[in-house]
Amino acid sequence: MLCLQKNGSEIKSVDDWFKFAPPKKGLYHWKDGRSAKELAKAWFPAEGNPIVPDELQALLESRDETRGIAFEQGEPERVILFDTCGEGRHADLVL
């Protein structure tokens, strides 16, 4: 079963996603149609455990290399460092 967490807090809903892992500019970016909120809505069509969106599941199942993949954990708003220049990339979700 997939578990989404941020700093030790388990995320079980769109509201939890914003509470524990808001986008870099908070409410300014947390809007319908913007990537972070739309991604949260896709993974949480209802409160409870996150569900892999159908479109992603279909894409993964279309390739031998990713068919049958099972995600165990994820972290929204993860900063990924590529080098020592700048602050890193804020990813909406890392699995």
Render 42-92 in DSSP notation, one character per residue.
Answer: HH-SSSSS----HHHHHHHHTSTTTTT----EEEEEEEE--SSSSS-EEEE
The whole-angstrom separation of Cα 95 and Cα 60 is 13
Q: Which pLDDT tens digit goes with each residue over 29-82?
A: 999 999 999 999 999 999 999 999 999 999 999 999 999 999 999 999 999 998
User: What pTM was computed for the model?
Assistant: 0.89
Assess contact for 35 and 92: CB atoms under 8 A. yes
pLDDT value for 65? 97
pLDDT exceeds cutoff 90 at 89: no
pLDDT value for 26? 92
Tokens matching residue 63: 């390739």
Who has greater pLDDT, 79 or 86? 79
Domain ranges within the chain, ordered by starting residue:
3-94
